[in-house]
Each structure stands twice: as structure tokens, then as C-alpha cells.
Chain A
């Protein structure tokens, strides 16, 4: 197991390096640069700025300096757009926010989704099943960029219960709408996968055996059916976890949460190279780690899997 983990982490290094190199060149080949503006800068002014940020160097040299600073100083470079902040600052400020509402959304979506799915499967073809399936489909049809405005109109404008945006250090009134908006569409998918997986498990031979030896239904479900049911759910949840952190740009835009999603998209649009690369690396590393955790979780859920 330990050897497996070490092997996986070692493979991650070239993966992320490849990601950096590919992103670096893609980014530099996109038309326009960080200082392209509607009022083109006079050549002398532009030259001074490029010299300051090392953009006058050949690309390979820029890439080398960039990697060198990361490895040696753990410095991900300056922001070209926000003059008094560097990439480390931007990530240190935005990532905890994304992580907070992302994790909460993930927990919320998983709890409700799995609960609905199990309920629907146990009470197959009853009103609970229809209700759960209906709710799941409705939720899936509401992506966060639809949920955002709906929630704000309802809870801020009409009911006046919740503030329309901001973060305020993550106080709960500011958290409710972002968490719900981000979680809704995942609830639907999770419920659907859980339900079909549970139905399949409940029809399998070992469950029939468990029932035949007279175990109460509750024990059958919790002790025997739940773990194998969750296997396909876990493989879906891995990418979702990364996605609730990366795909949160709409939440950041609608609720002014100040998370990293907005900084990421904003940096791509303004060609803020170092910020864009820094966040890409963070998300890349996160994906590698979460994938590893997902694979390790398989072993726990399914005794047949061994590393």
C-alpha cells in the first residue's frame, strides 16, 4: 500500500511538470498579452514593464526562471494586474474561500444525494421513489448559473432573509446560497447513481443470502448493501470534489465570494500569466491527490481490490 502511494506520487511529478509546460506555451501563444490594452502603451513604457517582469527574455528562459523560483523559493511569481499582490497572496486569499464553500457543497450534495438515492432504492416504485427521482432530475436541470440568480431573487429581493453576496469571513448567512447553488445539480446525479447502484446490489445473491439467514432489513442495508453501493458513487465523487473547487466561477461571480474560480477565469481573460499558471498547478495537484485518495477509497469499499 505504502509503496503504491509513493509510486503514484512519483508519477505525479512529471504529470504536473507536463501540465506546467503545456499551459505555459498555450498561454503565451494566445493572442494578446497582459499589457495589451485599448490604449496601447508607448514602446518605451511597455519596454520598462516587460523588463521588470522578465517578459523581454526568450520563452525558454522565462519558463526556466519560473520553474526555478517555484522549486527554490516556492514563489509563483507576481500578478501583472494586481500590483500589490503576488500569486502566493492571491491563492492564499482565494483558495480557503473556495475550499470552504466547495467542501460544504460537496458534503451537502453527497449527504442529500446518497440519502435520496438509498431511500428511492429501498422503497422502489413507491411515492418516495418517484419523489426522489423527480427531485433528482429537477436538481440536475438547475446548474449553478441558473440557481444563482433564482436564489438571490428569492432570498434577497423577495424574502429579504439573506445578504445578496459577499463573504464576510464565511459567516453562515453568506454561505447558504453559494453552497446550495453549487450543490444542487450534483444532488441529482449522486441520487441517480446511488439509486441504480443500490437496486443492483439489493438484487444480488449475497443480499438474498443475508435476508435468507434472517437478518433484519436495517442490518442488511447498512452492513452489507451500503459499501458496494457506494463504489460507483465514489468514482463519481472524486472528480466532483475537484470540480466544486474549480467549477465555482459562477458562484464567485454571482455571490462575490472572492474565491479562486473568479481569479482563475479573470487571469485567463487578462492574460495574467503567473496567476493563471499558479492556479492551474494548484488544480492539477489537487486532481492528482484526489484521484489517489479515490483509488485508495476503492480498496476500503471493495475488499476485492488490493494494491
Chain B
């Protein structure tokens, strides 16, 4: 890894030297495409971002902005691989519980100050500081940094966090447990550096344009809440010579259909495609409608807790309901955006994850329906004793369509009465979290690109395991995966157990379904986490 990073860095530096002149001529340094005069990238965000403070931000649109404004130790490339950020390299001990990062000496804040190891130490301590009470403080616990949990719980002082600046360009971190993917976790906003002087000067208002100082490829120049935010090239950024996009504008447009109209009117370079509209848009705008796999799943979970329905305690019933779901109809006729059908909990796109041969996946829908009827009859349900339950989902047009389709499939094929109930988001979370449901909708997007980010949801002690599925073997496999050199076979085994026991009904895996102006170059469609950096994009001349 170490060597690889050094080589790619050398490559980067060389390309900087060669390309200095190429921009003046208006062509892309590597592809040779003619570049547009106006290098402004405008995209839609669903809702106002919560914050652009790296240690505080908790929503996706905010994290996208923060990734442009700040730069952490490591970045991701177009395919999601790790590439140098502020750190040029790192080393670890044999036990993999001490990491030492070497920081580049030309990294600067937008006010010209050098970026030092101390800025990271300050930021990481800030993230766990109860006084800041960051909603993402748990991320530092997840990174297993020594004393993080105790500091958050108020049992130890903030200065006990085991992160140390050996000198201005060397950062050392001690972990409480070995973690082989620790460097991958430093691409997350919570770990980005923070400018101590500025924060102490302005307090909570330090993130406002004019006050904010950042070390990424862009600086925040304008923010009109609920309307738009604008970030512009940071001249002080160490790799500024290779940045092509001058200005990035994020427009808040709550309604996705309005966003699509504004995209079609030429006001936006990128927007999401509303459910069901992809086939039409693809026909009308073949070069602009794109779909690619994402790291998220969509499922229904059975309530397997003590208070849950008796019927669902029988695996045959659960399996029958899962078998009778015609996933093709849902992905092709309802969502219609190129979403893959799901027969496993973790998406196939997950790195290092081998999808097991789940029996159901290889059957035809007619065979599945036949088996479903048999299993349900075996469990004692039929015309004279129909299975009835309530299925809950949070209020949304797309969720409703899927729920209606599911209940119809079950009604027609199995004579099952599934009653639909929708709830407002916060009520839904509360009810699902308290096991006040029979069958509930769920969806999960990976926090990092590794199967455990999904499968941990089915671990019996997990706070996210709303169905209260409890299988000792699954727990054991997941525990050994944490330290295994190659966890892939263990994850495959977990999926095999899940397929047999069906604690959840996987329906489909997400796709990123966008309208993207064909002028936009280098959008990272292969980065399944969709961690994109404006500095890597460019716009070609029409």
C-alpha cells in the first residue's frame, strides 16, 4: 500500500508539471478533450445541508460539500480506491493497532497557513469532545481510537485521545483493537482537519462564508439557506494546478420533478431521476440518463422479537412470503431505474464480497410461487386459515407503490392479507425501533465499502437490528470477520444462513439514477459509495 501511494504521488507530481500549459490551451491534460470556457458545475440537492463543519456534518449533501472544502488524510479515486490526500503515506505496526501518517509539506489552508499534524489532532479531539456533542462522535469509536469511547462518555478528559503529532508532518494514532481498514476510514468527513484559530475566533459561526477557512480544493463563498451554496477554487490548495472546475453550485430543490424540469431547461448539470421515469428519459436523452449500482439495499424486516407475530416465528412462513415477491416487477415496472433485484442482504457491488448461490435466485418465479404455496400450507395457513398481518412503511409515493405491489402479490398468489400502514418518518422510526410492527420497510446505505456495514444489522446486539433477529452462528461469523485476513467467505456464509432463515425480505439494491449533462467529464460511476470530488471533474466544450 505504502509503496503504491508513493508511486502514484510521483505520477501526480509529474503530471502537474507537464500539464501546466495544457489548461491555457483549453484542453484536458490527459484526455485531450476541448474544455468549456465556463467551468461551473451546478447540481441539485434535495434538502438544505445540516452543516459544513467536518466534525458536525451528518447528512449526505453536507458531506459532499465538506469533501470539496476540506481534505482528510486519504481520498478516494474514481473507483473508490484509496489515494493520498493530505497524507502522502502511512505505516502500521504488525498488530495493526498503531498507524503513522506522513503529511505532505505543501498542504495549506485557504488563508495560507500550513496544514499540520496538529490540525488533525485538534479536529479528532474536537469530534469526541462532549462539549461539541457531535452527532458523528460515534464514528471515532467505530475507528477504535484509544479512549474515544471513554471521552465521549465523559469518563476521561479529551486530551487522552490517543492521537499525537510527532512533528508538524507526522501523525500517530493508537487503536484499542486492530483494524485493517483504518486508513479507508480517514476518507470520511468526521476525520478532516479543522482550523483551530478560526473556530476559536468565530465560534459556531466559523462555517459562514467570509469566516470559513478550509484546506480542500474549494472554499465556501456564498450560502443562501434553502436556496443555494457556492464554492469556488481555493488558490492555496496544494494541487490547485490540476483542478479544472472553477465553481460548484448546489441548488436546494425539494421536489424531484421540479428539479428534473429545471435540468431539462438547462439550469442544472445533474439531478436525480424520479422513480419510474428512467425508461422514458433514457429513450429521449440516451447520453444523459445514467444508472449505476449503489451501495444500498431495500428490504422488509420481520418482527422476530418476543412480542412479534406468532406466524413469523416459523421460517417457512417467512420464506414463503419472500419467495412470492416477484422482484422483477418491482425493479422493472415500478422503480424502472436499473436497480438490481436482491436475493441477498449485502449488494453485489460491495467490495470483496462474493454473492453466495442462493437457491431462490436461480429459480423461475413460477417455481418460487409453487414452493411458496407449499411452504405456507406446511405452516398451516390456507384458504380456511388465511395469514394476516400489517406492513408499515414511511410516507412516500415510491414506498407506497412497492408496498401495494407486495401486498397484491401475496394476496393473489398466497391468499395472504397484508394490511398497509404508512407513517410519517420520525413516527415510523420510533415505532420500528420499539418493535411495534409486524413487517416493516427498511433500507440501508453502507457507511464504508465492506459487507459488514450491511450484515452487522443482523447481528443480535446491533442497535440497528429492528427485527431483533438472533442467530448465534451469525454473531460468531461476524465476530471472526472483524479480525480475519480474508473475511469474504465468512460473509458469504452469513448470507447463506440469512437466505435459509429469511429474517428479512431483500427486494432490490439501489442504483444511482441520474440525469447528467453529457458535458460533465469523469463522474465516478464506479465509486459505489458515490464519494465524488469536484476537483476531479471537468466540463467539455459543446
A contacts, CB < 8 Å to B? 30-33, 35-42, 44-45, 48-49, 51-52, 81-85, 90, 93-94, 148-149, 152-153, 156-157, 160, 163-167, 252-254, 256-259, 262-263, 266, 269-271
Complex Cα spacing A31 to B265, Å: 41
Residues B135 and A35 in contact, CB atoms below 8 Å apart = yes
Residues B426 and A269 in contact, CB atoms below 8 Å apart = yes
Complex Cα spacing A270 to B424, Å: 10
3 residue pairs, one from A and one from B, having the closest CB atoms: A32-B426, A164-B262, A258-B226
Complex Cα spacing A31 to B436, Å: 13
Complex Cα spacing A51 to B464, Å: 24
B46-62 interface bits toward A, Cβ cutoff 8 Å, 1 = contact, 0 = none: 01101111001000000
Residues A94 and B53 in contact, CB atoms below 8 Å apart = no
CB closest chain-B residue, reference A78: B204
Residues A258 and B133 in contact, CB atoms below 8 Å apart = no
B residues 302-321 in Cβ contact with A at 8 Å? none
Complex Cα spacing A253 to B226, Å: 9
Residues A45 and B138 in contact, CB atoms below 8 Å apart = yes
CB closest chain-B residue, reference A254: B258
- Picked from B51, B153, B251, B257, the residue with its CB within 8 Å of the CB of A166 is B251
What residues of B have a CB within 8 angstroms of the CB of A39 in the complex?
464
What residues of B have a CB within 8 angstroms of the CB of A252 in the complex?
226, 254
CB closest chain-B residue, reference A37: B429
Which of A30, A32, A153, A157 has the most chain B CB atoms inside 10 A of its CB? A32
In the complex, B430 has a CB within 8 A of chain A: yes
Residues A256 and B251 in contact, CB atoms below 8 Å apart = yes
Which of B131, B205, B253 has the most chain A CB atoms inside 10 A of its CB? B253
- Picked from A32, A167, A253, A262, the residue with its CB within 8 Å of the CB of B224 is A167
Total A-B pairs, Cβ < 8 A = 141
Residues B137 and A94 in contact, CB atoms below 8 Å apart = no
Residues B51 and A83 in contact, CB atoms below 8 Å apart = yes
Residues B262 and A152 in contact, CB atoms below 8 Å apart = yes
In the complex, B169 has a CB within 8 A of chain A: no
In the complex, B227 has a CB within 8 A of chain A: yes
Q: How many residues of B contact A (CB 8 A)?
A: 52
Contacts A165-B262, A167-B224 given; does A84 touch B205 at CB 8 Å: yes
Residues B53 and A84 in contact, CB atoms below 8 Å apart = yes
Complex Cα spacing A298 to B315, Å: 72
Residues A256 and B264 in contact, CB atoms below 8 Å apart = no
Complex Cα spacing A130 to B438, Å: 57
Which of B154, B258, B433 has the most chain A CB atoms inside 10 A of its CB? B258
In the complex, B79 has a CB within 8 A of chain A: no
What residues of A have a CB within 8 angstroms of the CB of B133 in the complex?
45, 48-49, 51-52
In the complex, B439 has a CB within 8 A of chain A: no
Residues A163 and B267 in contact, CB atoms below 8 Å apart = yes
Complex Cα spacing A268 to B224, Å: 21
CB closest chain-B residue, reference A166: B227
Complex Cα spacing A253 to B208, Å: 24
What residues of B have a CB within 8 angstroms of the CB of A156 in the complex?
261-262, 265, 267
Which of A35, A36, A252 has the most chain B CB atoms inside 10 A of its CB? A36
CB closest chain-B residue, reference A86: B204
- Picked from A44, A160, A256, the residue with its CB within 8 Å of the CB of B149 is A44
What residues of B have a CB within 8 angstroms of the CB of A157 in the complex?
261, 264-265
In the complex, B425 has a CB within 8 A of chain A: yes
Residues B261 and A256 in contact, CB atoms below 8 Å apart = no
- Picked from B130, B135, B208, B255, the residue with its CB within 8 Å of the CB of A84 is B208
Residues B50 and A81 in contact, CB atoms below 8 Å apart = yes
Residues B226 and A44 in contact, CB atoms below 8 Å apart = no
Residues B53 and A36 in contact, CB atoms below 8 Å apart = no
- Interface contacts beyond A254-B255, A269-B426: sample of 5 additional A-B pairs, CB < 8 Å, sorted by A: A31-B430, A44-B153, A45-B137, A165-B262, A258-B224
Complex Cα spacing A51 to B130, Å: 9
CB closest chain-B residue, reference A153: B261
What residues of A have a CB within 8 angstroms of the CB of B138 in the complex?
41-42, 45
